[in-house]
Structure 1
Amino acid sequence: MTERPWWIAAGLAGWGAIVLWKAAELPQFDRYAGIGPGMFPSIVGGVLIVLGLMLAWQIHRGVRFEEQEAEDVAEGHAVSYRALGLAAAACALPMLTMKPLGFVVTCVGCFVLVAAAFKSRSHVLNAAIGLVFSLICWWLFRKLGVQLGGLLPIAEM
């Protein structure tokens, strides 16, 4: 009997549960727009859980997951666990730093981590680019009426 990758289904459903848990801290409905800031993350978390359950069902049924041929994939190419870890850290960073550090600093950190996962070594340049993009996004969200907190919550303490 071949080993079945249950951990993939559990990881996907678990990630959905984490997203759903964190989205529950946000208002789901708003008086003005009707849809609150927690609605879309809640939908994404729910979809991830459903996809994890569907994947578990496929694994239970014995569906085999094999590599598919790709046009430009080298046969001997190994997985870069460093890049995978950096990308995962970029995904997890907002859960840990959004409240204490704020939107801008969190987005800069995510941008630098993702750029490093793609083998960029210009961390200062990446931080500067991330800062510009996150400031623009923060400003545009504020103009739209989305409350993301102060520019630097850590400075307001």
Structure 2
Amino acid sequence: MTQQHSSRSTPLQTLIGTGLVLLAIAMAWGASTVSSEAGYGGVGPNFFPWVVSIALLICGVLCVAHALTGGFRNLEEGSGDVRAHWKGFIWVSAGLLLNAMLITTLGFILSCTLCFVLSVRGFKSAEGEMDLRLKAWIKDSLIGIAVSAPVFWMFTKLLAINLPGLTNTGWL
């Protein structure tokens, strides 16, 4: 089912595009403060921030132009609730904040696992399928470790990028 353009949505759609343009400008300003000295492969550290800024600017301009010439077309009906699910938002926010607070204490793997477990609780809560049984916590913890450990090892071992670990071995 598609949603037809409504005159009420055009200002919001224009605002989204304008927000993207402003974000692109802010990112470009930030990219201009990064060193442009060429590094490995002849590309400086400001290359990707500039690429992202330019791509975001193009998307923002296209969104504004699209919104001003009839609005976003062929939008599917939203699948979410009319109102925000605050309990789910709190679970996910707690996961993100605890991850940021504990990453240097627990290390990357365990703090990201905690973030995953709490985020799952939030998303399941929003679906009305919250499971607070110990079995669900253990299952989600194992999945979180299975996702975060290879990411940690790839960054630390393959790319030689330092991420906070629980031990000094480089494996946890």
Q: Which runs of 5+ in 2 are unaligned?
A: 1-5, 125-129, 168-172
The alignment yields a C-alpha RMSD, in angstroms, of 4.8
TM-score (norm 2): 0.51
1:144 partnered with 2:147: no
The separation in 1 between residues aligned to 2:45 and 2:101, in whole angstroms, is 14
Q: Which runs of 5+ in 1 are unaligned?
A: none
Who is 1:43 aligned against?
Answer: 51
Query: Which of 124, 132, 140 is the aligned partner of 2:146?
Result: 132
Within 5 Å, give how 1:1-157 maps onto structure 2.
Answer: 2-3=7-8, 4=10, 5=12, 6-13=14-21, 31-32=39-40, 34=42, 39-40=47-48, 43-65=51-73, 67-68=75-76, 78-79=81-82, 81-82=84-85, 85=89, 89=93, 93=96, 97=100, 101=104, 103-105=108-110, 107-112=112-117, 114-119=119-124, 121=131, 122-152=136-166
The separation in 2 between residues aligned to 1:53 and 1:33, in whole angstroms, is 31
How many residues are matched? 145
The separation in 1 between residues aligned to 2:143 and 2:21, in whole angstroms, is 33
The separation in 2 between residues aligned to 1:19 and 1:113, in whole angstroms, is 30
Structure of greater Rg: 2
TM-score (norm 1): 0.54
How far has the Cα of 1:86 moved from its partner? 7.1
The separation in 2 between residues aligned to 1:49 and 1:86, in whole angstroms, is 32
Distance 1:87 1:152, change over 3 A: same
Q: Mean alpha-carbon deviation: is it higher for 122-131 or for 138-147?
A: 122-131
How far has the Cα of 1:126 moved from its partner? 2.0
| 2:120–2:140 CA contact under 8 A, matched in 1 | yes
